[in-house]
Structure 1
Amino acid sequence: MKSNLFKRGFLSLVMAQFFGAMNDNILKAVLIFMVINGAWVGVLGDSGPSIVTFCFTIPFILLSGFAGQVSDRYSKRTVTWWVKSVEIPIALIAGYGFYVQNLWMTLFALIALTCQSAFFGPAKYGMIAELVDDSDLSRANGSINMLTNLSVIIGTLLAGAVSDAYCPLPYRAPAFADRQVNEGFDEFTLSYDVPSLREGKEKIAILKKLDFKNAKMRAKENGDENEAEVLDVDFYREPLVQRNEDSVTQSQKDKYKLAVLNPFGELSLPMIALVLVAVLGWLASLLLTPLPKGNAQLKFDYNPFSTYIETIKEMSQTRLLMVMMAWGYFYLLAGIALLIVPEYSEIMDITRKNASVLMGVLGIAIGLGCGVAGLISGHKIMPRLIPMGALGLIVFFFLLAFVTPPVLGMKAESYEVLFSSVSLFIFCAGFSAGFYIVPLQALLQSLSPDGERGRFLGTANGVSFMFLTLASLVVLVLAPAFKGAEYKMFYFCSGLMLVGAIYFLWAFRGTGLLVGSGESGLLLNTNVHGENTVHDTLSEDEDATECVTEEDSLSGDRVSPAEATENNELSDKGGDDDAKEKPDC
C-alpha cells in the first residue's frame, strides 16, 4: 500500500506549514534586524530583540489552549483554511507598516500573525495523526520538521536580503567637504566617489552650521578652510529614517576619516515578500483533503489557563506530562540560541545578510537532523535518540561559547577559520536538536487521546511557547552582563541542557522508555480517561503478538483514520479470515 506521506493530504499540509513558517520568520527576523542595527535601532533600547520575541510568543501562550479546543470541535481542514485566509490581510498590514516606517504598526501585525499561527498549531499537529498511519508518525514528523526548518532557512535568508535592501547599512566612503561663506553662514558641500552607489560622484548635502534642524550632513572643521571631517550623512527619501549617532563608532571615524553614506531603501520590498508568501500558503490549504468533522457538542472553555491546568492534570496520570516538559524545555534553549545568533552581525562585524546565513546554517542542520532521525526511526518511535541529541547540544553549545570573536588586525585567513568554526558548531548543534525533538513530538501525537488530540497538543504548544517567553526573559536579564560578548551565553545554554538531560533521565528511570523496552508502552499509553490501550509504536519487536479487546478496537485507538476506509472495504470479504488469525488474549 502506498504510504500516506506521498498523498495529497499530507503534502498539502506540509506546503501550508512551509509557507506559514517562512512568513513568520521573514517578519520576525526583519523586525529584529531593524531594532538591532537598522531603521529602529535604539527605539526599543538594548532589549529590542527580546521585546520582539515577547510579541511573538505571548499570543501562543494565551491562545493555544483555546485553539486546541477549536481544532477538536471543527474539521482541522476548515480551521486551516480560515487561518490561512486571515494571513493575507495581516501580511498587508505588516508590509504597510514597513513602507511608512511605523514600528508600532509592524509590531501589531507581528502579534496578529502569531495569533493566526497559534490557531494553526494544534490543527496542524493533530492533522498529522489523521492523515498518516500510526506506523508513519515518526517519518511524518521527521519530514514536516525537516521541511519546516528548510522554510525557516529560506525565510531567514530572505529576511537578511530584504533587510539590506529595505534599510541598507551605511557605506563608508572617501569624501571631502568644501567650506564656503555665504551671507554670514558657513556652508559645507559634501562630495564623494562611490561607484557602488546609484549616482556616483555627486554633491548630496549642504550643512548650514547655524541651522541643524534641516541638516542632512554633519561635519566639523579640520582647521583647513576648504576641508572638514564628515561625521554622518543621511539622504533617505522622505520620510527620513532616524539613525542613532552611536551606530558609527569613534574608532571607525578615527580609522577611516570617511563619510558614512546611507543609500536609498526599497520600502515596498517587505510588503511584496510577505503578501506573496501568504498567498502561496493559502493556495496550499485549498488542496487539503476532507477530514473527519470534530465534536460539535464540545463546549468551549474560554479561560486558557484553566484549559492548561485541566489538561496537565490529565497528563500527569501518565508519562505524557514528562514528554511534554522535555519537548518544551528544548524551546527554552532554542529561544536563547535564536536571540544570540543575530547578534553575530555585531560580534563578528558582518553584514545582516551574513548573519542570516548563520541562521540558515542552523535551520539546515535542524532540518537534516529531523530528517535523519525520521529515517532511523522508520515505522517506530525511537526515544533512545533523545539523549543522543541532548549530548550533542551540550557539547556544541559549549564550543560556541569557547570560540572568541575576531580582533582588530586579524588576518583574513584567521577570520575565515573563525567564521567556519562558528558555522560548523552551529550546524552540529542544530543537527543534534533534530535527534532530540522528533521522538518527543511523535510521542506527544501518539499518546494523546484521539478525540481530544487538539486540546492536548494545543496545551503542549502553549507550554513550549511559555518556555520561549522564558528564554526572552533570560536573555533580557543576562544581556547587560554579557554586553559585547553575547556569544558567551552559550555556556549558559550548555549548562541548562546538561541539567535538563540529567533530570529527564532520572524522571524516566525504570520505564524502559529511553532504551525502547516493550514495557514502556504500557507505562506510557494508559489512557487519561481510564481506558487501557496498548500502542505498538515503542516496541522493539515488530513481530510481537498484539492482543486487542473488542472495546479497544471500537475506541479507535488501534486504527488510524487513514486506514479506516480501506478496512471498511475489506471487512465484509475478509472478516472470517481475520477472525481466524486473531490470537487468543
Structure 2
Amino acid sequence: MKQDESLMTSRRFVPMFFTQFFGALNDNVFKQALLLVITYGWIQQQSAPVSTLNNLAALLFILPYFFFSATAGQIADKYERAQLVRGIKILEIIIMLIGSAGFLLGHLWLLLLALFLMGTHSTFFGPIKYAILPEILKPNELMSGNALFQSGTSMAILFGMILGGAVIASSEGNLLWISLTVVAIACIGYVFSRFILPQKVAAPDLDIDWNFIRTSFQTITYAKSLPLVFTILLGNSWYWFYGATYLTQIPQLTQQNLHASENVVSLLLTFFSVGIGVGSLLCRKIGGSEINIKMVPIGAIGLTVFALYLAASLAFVPERTGALLTLKDIFTQGWVYYHVMIAVTLLGISGGFYIVPLYAMMQAYSPRSHRARVVAANNILNAVFMVSSAIFSILILSVLKIDIKILFIITAVLSAIFSIWLLARLKPMLATAHLSLED
C-alpha cells in the first residue's frame, strides 16, 4: 500500500483525485435530494406519478452520455485538459445555482433541467479524468491510480447518497440547506481543480465535428478498429450492465424478499459500495503495480459465484407479514440475513477486482492522440449496456413475471459466459500488445 499512500500525497495526483471525488459526491447528493423531494411530495408541481418522475430523472441523467460523449472526447483530445477541468467545474457551480433555484422556488422542471445539465457535466468530465491519469502517473502507478479512483468514486457515491438523504431528512422541508450544500461542494471541487498541473495537448490540430450522431458512430467505429481496446471496452461495459442489474433491484429485493424498511436498502448499498472500494484497493495490492489481467478472472469468478450465493441466500429468507423489519431487526432475525449482507459485500469486492485492471488497460493500450475519444466510446457503450440492463430487468420481472432470484441466477450465468469469452479473446491479444503510455 506504500505506493497508494505516496500517490495520496503527490502533487501530480491529489488535485485530480479530489476534483473527481467532489464531482461524484455532488452528483449523488443532488440526485438523492431530488428523488427524495419528489417521493415525499415537497415539490408541488408534480403532474405525473412518483415512479414516472423518478425514472424520468434517471433517464435525464444518462441521456447526455448518448448525445455528448463523442464530442466530449474530441474536446478533451484537442484542448489542454487542466484548463478544461477548471471550466467544467465553473459550469458545475452555475448548474448547482440553477438547481438551488429549483429547490427554493419549488420548481420541478428547473430541478430536472439541472439534473440533465449535471449529467452533461459528467459526460464532458469523464473522458478528461480517465485520459489525464496516464499523463500524470508513471506506468507502474497506473494500477494504483485507477484503484484509488474507483475506491474514491464508490465512497463518493455512498457518501453522496447518505449526505443528500441526511440534509433533506433534517431540514424539515426547508430546502435552503440542500441548496447551500450542493453549491458549496461544487466550489470545493473547483478549488481543487485549480491545482491540477498543466498537461500536454494530445491532438491540437483535431477538427471538432459538432454533429453528435455522426461523431458518436465515428468514435465507436474508431474504437472497433482497435480490437484489443474494443474488447476491453466491452468488458468494462459488461460490468456496468451487471452492476446496474443488481443495484436497481436492491430496493425491491429489500422490500419484497427481505420484508425490510428503506433503511435496510441504504445498508445493503453501503455494503456494496464499501465492497467495491475494498476490492479496488486490494486489486493493486494482490495483483501488483504492473498493468496486467491477473485479477480480472478472479473478479469474474466472484461476480458469478457470489451472485448465485445471493440468490441461494434469498431462497432461505422466511416469508413475513406485518411490519417491515428495521435496521436493528435485520441483525437479530437469523443468519440468513447475514448471508445476504455478506453476498452483497463480496459482489462489490469482486467488482473492484474486475474493473480496476480493465480501466488501467483501457488507458494503457489506447493511442495517446485518441485516448479521450476511446474513453468517450467507453462511456457511450456503458450507457447502452445500462439501458439494456433496464430493459432486460423489465422483461424478466415485469413482462415475464419471473422471480428476482431467477433474474440474479440468469445474470450470473450470462456473466460466466461473457467472462469466458472475454478472457479467451483478451489473453492472446495482450501477449503481443504494446503499451501506448510512452507514445
Fold shared per TM-score above 0.5: yes
Give 1:415 deviation, angstroms. 3.5
Equivalent of 1:11, from 5, 14, 22?
Answer: 14
Alignment partners' CA distance in 2, 1:132 and 1:84: 22
Give 1:358 deviation, angstroms. 2.5
Equivalent of 2:246, from 337, 344, 353?
Answer: 337
Gaps of 5+ in 2: none
Equivalent of 1:161, from 156, 163, 166?
Answer: 166
Give 1:9 deviation, angstroms. 2.4
Partner of 2:26: 23
Partner of 2:348: 430
Alignment partners' CA distance in 1, 2:372 and 2:281: 24
Partner of 2:192: 284
Query: Is 1:302 the equivalent of 2:181?
Result: no
Equivalent of 2:90, from 85, 90, 93?
Answer: 85
Alignment partners' CA distance in 2, 1:419 and 1:276: 39
CA RMSD across the alignment: 2.9
Per-residue CA deviations over 1:400-451 (Å, capped at 9, x if unaligned) read 3442476136894653755544332221111111011011111110110011
Per-residue CA deviations over 1:54-76 (Å, capped at 9, x if unaligned) read 11111112111110100101111
Moved more, 304-313 or 409-418: 409-418
Letter in 2 for 1:320: V
Alignment partners' CA distance in 2, 1:482 and 1:342: 20
8 Å CA contact 1:60, 1:114 repeated in 2: yes
Partner of 2:268: 358
8 Å CA contact 1:156, 1:359 repeated in 2: no
3-state DSSP of counterpart to 2:424: coil
Seen in structure 2, the aligned counterparts of structure 1 residues 409 and 415 have a Cα distance that, compared at 3 Å, is: farther
Q: TM-score, normalised by structure 1?
A: 0.66
Give 1:45 deviation, angstroms. 4.8
Alignment partners' CA distance in 2, 1:357 and 1:482: 29
Give 1:475 deviation, angstroms. 4.2
Query: Is 1:559 the equivalent of 2:438?
Result: yes
8 Å CA contact 1:362, 1:426 repeated in 2: yes
Alignment partners' CA distance in 1, 2:294 and 2:243: 21
Equivalent of 1:325, from 222, 225, 234?
Answer: 234
Letter in 2 for 1:145: Q
8 Å CA contact 2:304, 2:416 repeated in 1: no
8 Å CA contact 2:364, 2:437 repeated in 1: no
Letter in 1 for 2:29: I
Task: Give the paired residue count.
Answer: 423
Alignment partners' CA distance in 1, 2:104 and 2:259: 28
Give 1:494 deviation, angstroms. 4.1
3-state DSSP of counterpart to 1:512: helix
8 Å CA contact 2:15, 2:195 repeated in 1: yes
Give 1:270 deviation, angstroms. 1.8
Seen in structure 2, the aligned counterparts of structure 1 residues 107 and 277 have a Cα distance that, compared at 3 Å, is: same
Query: Is 1:451 the equivalent of 2:366?
Result: no
Query: Is 1:505 the equivalent of 2:420?
Result: yes
Alignment partners' CA distance in 2, 1:428 and 1:461: 26
What does 1:27-426 correspond to in 2, within 5 Å?
27-36=30-39, 39=42, 43-166=48-171, 264-317=172-225, 318-343=227-252, 346-347=255-256, 352-402=262-312, 403=314, 404=317, 407-408=320-321, 412=329, 414-415=332-333, 417=335, 419-426=337-344
3-state DSSP of counterpart to 1:288: coil
Partner of 1:467: 385
Per-residue CA deviations over 1:147-186 (Å, capped at 9, x if unaligned) read 11111111111123234235xxxxxxxxxxxxxxxxxxxx
Alignment partners' CA distance in 1, 2:192 and 2:145: 18
8 Å CA contact 2:62, 2:119 repeated in 1: yes
Partner of 2:398: 480
Runs of 4+ deviating beyond 6 Å: none
Seen in structure 2, the aligned counterparts of structure 1 residues 474 and 507 have a Cα distance that, compared at 3 Å, is: closer
3-state DSSP of counterpart to 2:333: helix
Give 1:398 deviation, angstroms. 3.3
3-state DSSP of counterpart to 1:7: coil
Identity of aligned residues (%): 25
8 Å CA contact 2:241, 2:388 repeated in 1: yes
Moved more, 413-422 or 138-147: 413-422
Greater fraction strand: 1
Letter in 1 for 2:438: V
Alignment partners' CA distance in 2, 1:496 and 1:417: 25
3-state DSSP of counterpart to 2:193: helix
Give 1:13 deviation, angstroms. 0.5
Give 1:283 deviation, angstroms. 0.8
Alignment partners' CA distance in 1, 2:15 and 2:138: 17
Give 1:112 deviation, angstroms. 0.5
What does 1:493-532 correspond to in 2, within 5 Å?
493-509=408-424, 512=427, 520-522=430-432, 525=433
8 Å CA contact 1:160, 1:355 repeated in 2: no
Give 1:10 deviation, angstroms. 1.0
Seen in structure 2, the aligned counterparts of structure 1 residues 498 and 381 have a Cα distance that, compared at 3 Å, is: farther
8 Å CA contact 1:140, 1:374 repeated in 2: no
RCO (CA 8 Å, sep 6+): is it higher in 1 or 2? 2
Letter in 1 for 2:70: G
Gaps of 5+ in 1: 167-263, 514-518, 526-533, 536-556, 561-585
Greater fraction helix: 2
Moved more, 493-502 or 461-470: 493-502
Alignment partners' CA distance in 2, 1:125 and 1:437: 13
Moved more, 444-453 or 379-388: 379-388
Letter in 2 for 1:284: F
Alignment partners' CA distance in 2, 1:416 and 1:266: 40
Seen in structure 2, the aligned counterparts of structure 1 residues 505 and 477 have a Cα distance that, compared at 3 Å, is: closer
Seen in structure 2, the aligned counterparts of structure 1 residues 159 and 339 have a Cα distance that, compared at 3 Å, is: farther
8 Å CA contact 1:149, 1:363 repeated in 2: yes
Alignment partners' CA distance in 2, 1:418 and 1:160: 28
Seen in structure 2, the aligned counterparts of structure 1 residues 33 and 374 have a Cα distance that, compared at 3 Å, is: farther
Alignment partners' CA distance in 2, 1:475 and 1:490: 12
Alignment partners' CA distance in 1, 2:332 and 2:47: 32
Partner of 1:259: none
Alignment partners' CA distance in 2, 1:322 and 1:147: 26
Seen in structure 2, the aligned counterparts of structure 1 residues 305 and 383 have a Cα distance that, compared at 3 Å, is: farther
Alignment partners' CA distance in 2, 1:500 and 1:351: 30
Alignment partners' CA distance in 2, 1:375 and 1:490: 34
8 Å CA contact 1:57, 1:466 repeated in 2: no
